[in-house]
Structure 1
Amino acid sequence: MGLKAILSKLFAAWVNRDINNLRQNAVALQRQTMQQLVQQATATAFGKDHQFTNIHTYEDFKLNVPIRDYEDLRPYIDRMTHGEPDVLWPGKPAYLAKTSGTTSGVKYIPISKESMPEHIKAARNALLSYIHETGKADFVDGKMIFLQGSPVMSEKAGIATGRLSGIVAHHVPAYLQKNRLPSYEINCIDDWEQKVDAIVEETHNQDMRLISGIPPWCQMYFDRLSAKAGGKKIKDIFPNFKLFVYGGVNYEPYRSRIEESIGFGIDTIETYPASEGFIAFQDSQKDKGLLLLANSGIFYEFVPTDEFFNDHPARLSLGEVELNKNYALIMNTNAGLWGYSLGDTVKFTSLKPHKIVVTGRIKHYISAFGEHVIGEEVEHALMSVAKQEGVDVVEFTVAPQVNPVEDSLPYHEWFVEFGKAPANMVSFAQKVDAALQQKNIYYQDLITGNILRPLVVRSLQPDSFINFMRSQGKLGGQNKVPRLSNDRKIADALVNYII
């Protein structure tokens, strides 16, 4: 064990004391965070418009700060992106994180000098929690790779602008820089496929011990590594590779294929970063729940998903949430986002400490007939049956077929790219349909009431989703395929890839 690994264990034990305080006192920390945020932003344009001087309690806060999405906040954000100071947060943003919205086009998310360190601290603490719990620290003595967006920055009104992962690349601690790959030059390659090929060339003979990124794009990296090495497993290319860190999507649909590529069931750490703030990370290998970061400059609110589209939905603070209920996540941040609907849905798996799992997107659902099927349900239905049947799922998405040309009842249409296809597709689809009925009683009622026919699975050609994302200009980086949609924009494009 090298010096870095020894020191990291000592550091992990020290940091764990702070994390224990978070585990034990999250509700109190959230109250303090709300008060601090309001106090710091009182003199901003937003604070003046929303009478921050009159906010003393959470009830006051709810009365003065409405829930908004990006479009609702856009008048303030536009002022900020044109260089006006003190709009949403004191001063000007340190960065603007550029993201692609499905309804808003390009979005610019402010990152302040106060919020940027919290992104780095959370990522660091996720690794230190792993070291403290498992005692495994050897990975810090080898190479680590972070598959991410380009660190090349542009400017907007004098504010450095780029993708979140590219911004974060400028803040990697010095003690990790020598271990970190890819090199800056290769990281700056904008075309994702060229970048992956260059990363393969740079890393295939390195002592890679930690790999991090969004699972489907890591899979692409693994596939190309294996091809270069004549079909070898990743464990044979990188014999000291022991830790995979991921975020952005549910890992379960990708787990079996990634573990098959690696050659064993590797330790994993799930993280929950967003341009708007680093929200949670997995702090234990014994628990898939993610520890909510209640002391990182974000005040959270939670709206029950079945009320979200009401005129006056319930808004709950951390101390009011319940276990196993789906909530839309609302953020108030030390970068100036107020009552901001992130679009994600979560549920709590533990209240002591407060741990969550991400269950989907508030706008990614199917309810063409009142069923309100969500991402968590379709993922469970497909992957539970795939596991039983020994089927390998590469990627999938689901959409309603409201007007079938075959003159039958409407149905849910599943577009699935298989690594290993079912022996009997009809039987497989029937089992997935039964699993979905068990998860969603409204869907079950529509099937048994002959309003819908059972779902239909469309098997897609190899690399269909990669080709689709390439056609949309969204290959790689932080881009993800929505698991389900209430319209057929994605489905109609995927029809061309059906086998």
Structure 2
Amino acid sequence: MEIVGSLIKGAIDLKGALSNEPNHIESQKKVLIDLLRKAEKTEFGEKYDFNSLAKSEEVQKDFAKRVPYSDYHQIHNDFWKRVVEGEENVTWPGNPDYFALSSGTTGKKSKRIPVTEDMITAIRKAGIKQVEALANFDLPPAFFEKEILMLGSSTDLKQKDGHLEGEISGISASNIPFWFEGYYKPGKEIARIDDWDQRVKHIVKHAKEWDIGALSGIPSWMELLLQEIIRYYRLNNIHQIWPNLQVYTSGGVAFGPYEKSFNKLLAQPITVIDTYLASEGFIAYQERPETDAMKLITDNGIYFEFVPFKPEYINPDGSLKQNAPSITINEVETDQDYVLIISTVSGAWRYIIGDTIEFTDIDRAEIRITGRTKFFLNVVGSQLSVNKMNTALRELEEKFNTEIPEFTLSAKRIDGEFYHCWYLGIETEINDQELAEALDQSLKNSNKNYKVARSKSLKGVKVTTVPVSIFSEWSGTQKKKGGQVKMERVMSEEKFLEWESFVSEKISK
């Protein structure tokens, strides 16, 4: 009944009207002090004297001076390894019930990231904030009665040494509030299926029984699912089976590369809302339709710092130098890439999450993800971020009237000369050399560092086009199919050799 949707929409509208925009500067200072006080009696808190830090007049500056940066491997080797083994009060009070498994895009071996009850609560609160923001998107009351298909990783969490393990989307879905269960699809039974292909088969089989109003998941995997549904039921588009589909909540990667191919699966436009949920926490969400930027959640258990993303602060392997200066949210500027540093209610301290971001609106604390620190191609000074790569590929899509949802590249030395070697996922027939020339020119026009590199040590660009399906098949061989999995955009030379061998084998079949 639409009256139920009207009541829900009315409640969301009222809540939004009564909510005040937080003072992001004050919120962040309070979050840091709360974190320090909560963890002051842990091993980490005693080592860095959180008790005195929390009382400091310049708590943010003193925190940055006293506590070093750490990436996953550093904090795991020094602290989290013992947390996984069951030791309590190491970097956060007690011992967590969950560990988020994340191999990310840079390695096969899964990381185990603590997910405490405080973090579960923070993620749930962030989800509610995102739902409240729907009031800004002018959705009809009927939308709020429809079901939501959440395509994440399996909720069949694995029991190990007294805790549960799984990807963060599976942990989050297994902790959905009871009142949401009636809206949640594919439902608990199907969501527990661990094998990605089998889970997709079950979703496809039951798709016609559901009245889906919203989708949520990583674009590449969501697109594959929609294609399977359309193929199975012999449809022209997904709206023929889900006529009330109006919203897609994207996350994990930029939606831009997938926009053209995704829209081909629809009969009418839908509202796309970006989110930023990482294994380490729910970081940001899109609050308003006027922009695709996302609002940092500054009052919910995560303290943010920002390091200007400049070559002098980055090691050759993409890690951060310890002497790199960090700034707080009251010091950031627009038009500057930053390495994102977080401290959280799961006991991550000055943790290098691996993403780079830029601020689009400082007063609103709105950001965009611009890339990964280890996906920054700086061989012979080219200084290419994923953001610049995506922009160049959107220009290629327009020039050649095609879609390029997937790509990867590496810097290779060929006959003593450096080349940027690209693999583009394209379904249309386009000459590789023409693509290479257009891509090279686009990067020269938009990036002065790349242009300088091309006039010196960077010999040129090579492009190889392959079917888009090759990328998902590659992810499958890396044990990274579905869920939170993202394709490597920049590969090391060693990994790129594996990739090229894989592609050659697939193409020759």
Identify the residue that residue 67 of structure 1 maps to in structure 2: 69
Identify the residue that residue 79 of structure 1 maps to in structure 2: 82
Secondary structure of the corresponding residue to residue 305 of structure 2:
strand
- Aligned 1:111-260 pairs, distance under 5 A: 111-260=115-264
Query: In 2, Cα distance between the equivalents of 1:485 and 1:454?
Result: 18
Query: In 2, Cα distance between the equivalents of 1:184 and 1:142?
Result: 17
316-325 or 381-390, which deviates more? 381-390
Query: In 2, Cα distance between the equivalents of 1:31 and 1:285?
Result: 29
Structure 1 spans left out of the alignment, 5+ residues:
none
Identify the residue that residue 348 of structure 1 maps to in structure 2: 359
Structure 1 position 340, deviation (Å): 0.6
Preserved contact between residue 108 and residue 478 of structure 2 (Cα < 8 Å) = no
Matched AA of 1:432? L
6-15 or 142-151, which deviates more? 6-15
Preserved contact between residue 98 and residue 116 of structure 2 (Cα < 8 Å) = yes
Structure 1 position 61, deviation (Å): 0.6
Structure 1 position 341, deviation (Å): 0.5
Q: Which of 419, 427, 432 is matched with 2:434 structurally?
A: 427
Identify the residue that residue 453 of structure 1 maps to in structure 2: 459
Preserved contact between residue 205 and residue 237 of structure 1 (Cα < 8 Å) = no
Structure 1 position 124, deviation (Å): 2.8
Query: In 1, Cα distance between the equivalents of 2:7 and 2:146?
Result: 14
Preserved contact between residue 257 and residue 405 of structure 2 (Cα < 8 Å) = yes
Query: In 1, Cα distance between the equivalents of 2:87 and 2:463?
Result: 52
41-50 or 133-142, which deviates more? 133-142
Matched AA of 1:429? A
Query: In 2, Cα distance between the equivalents of 1:213 and 1:180?
Result: 13
Q: Establish whether residue 90 from structure 1 lines up as the match of residue 93 from structure 2.
A: yes
Structure 1 position 114, deviation (Å): 1.5
Identify the residue that residue 368 of structure 2 maps to in structure 1: 357
Question: Which deviations, in whole Å up to 9, do the C-alpha atoms of 1:97-136 show, x marking residues without a partner?
Answer: 1222535822111122222122122223223212344143
Secondary structure of the corresponding residue to residue 302 of structure 1:
strand
Identify the residue that residue 478 of structure 1 maps to in structure 2: 484
241-250 or 155-164, which deviates more? 155-164
Query: In 2, Cα distance between the equivalents of 1:118 and 1:439?
Result: 39
Query: In 1, Cα distance between the equivalents of 2:440 and 2:498?
Result: 22
Secondary structure of the corresponding residue to residue 272 of structure 1:
strand
Q: Establish whether residue 326 from structure 1 lines up as the match of residue 324 from structure 2.
A: no
Query: In 2, Cα distance between the equivalents of 1:351 and 1:301?
Result: 14
Query: In 2, Cα distance between the equivalents of 1:492 and 1:166?
Result: 30
Question: Which deviations, in whole Å up to 9, do the C-alpha atoms of 1:295-340 show, x marking residues without a partner?
Answer: 0111101011112444411111111111111111000001111111
Preserved contact between residue 365 and residue 486 of structure 1 (Cα < 8 Å) = no
Preserved contact between residue 142 and residue 207 of structure 1 (Cα < 8 Å) = yes
Identify the residue that residue 378 of structure 2 maps to in structure 1: 367
216-225 or 157-166, which deviates more? 157-166
Preserved contact between residue 244 and residue 266 of structure 1 (Cα < 8 Å) = yes
Query: In 1, Cα distance between the equivalents of 2:383 and 2:118?
Result: 39
Question: Which deviations, in whole Å up to 9, do the C-alpha atoms of 1:355-388 show, x marking residues without a partner?
Answer: 0000010111212212221111111101222123
Q: Establish whether residue 494 from structure 1 lines up as the match of residue 497 from structure 2.
A: no
Q: Establish whether residue 414 from structure 1 lines up as the match of residue 422 from structure 2.
A: yes
Preserved contact between residue 415 and residue 491 of structure 1 (Cα < 8 Å) = no
Query: In 2, Cα distance between the equivalents of 1:383 and 1:135?
Result: 29
Identify the residue that residue 317 of structure 2 maps to in structure 1: none
Secondary structure of the corresponding residue to residue 373 of structure 1:
coil
46-55 or 364-373, which deviates more? 364-373
Preserved contact between residue 399 and residue 491 of structure 1 (Cα < 8 Å) = no
263-272 or 340-349, which deviates more? 263-272
Preserved contact between residue 9 and residue 132 of structure 1 (Cα < 8 Å) = no
Preserved contact between residue 210 and residue 245 of structure 1 (Cα < 8 Å) = yes
Count how many residue pairs are aligned between Structure 1 and Structure 2: 492
- Change over 3 Å in CA distance of 1:122–1:490 after alignment to 2: farther
- Change over 3 Å in CA distance of 1:337–1:219 after alignment to 2: same
Structure 1 position 431, deviation (Å): 1.6
44-53 or 462-471, which deviates more? 462-471
Q: Which of 25, 34, 37 is matched with 1:36 structurally?
A: 34
Structure 2 spans left out of the alignment, 5+ residues:
315-319
Q: Which of 383, 388, 391 is matched with 2:399 structurally?
A: 388
Matched AA of 2:187? S
Matched AA of 1:433? D
275-284 or 393-402, which deviates more? 393-402
Structure 1 position 47, deviation (Å): 0.2
Preserved contact between residue 409 and residue 453 of structure 1 (Cα < 8 Å) = yes
Query: In 2, Cα distance between the equivalents of 1:134 and 1:225?
Result: 28
Query: In 2, Cα distance between the equivalents of 1:247 and 1:416?
Result: 22
Matched AA of 1:96? F
Q: Establish whether residue 444 from structure 1 lines up as the match of residue 451 from structure 2.
A: yes
- Change over 3 Å in CA distance of 1:366–1:265 after alignment to 2: same
Secondary structure of the corresponding residue to residue 155 of structure 1:
strand
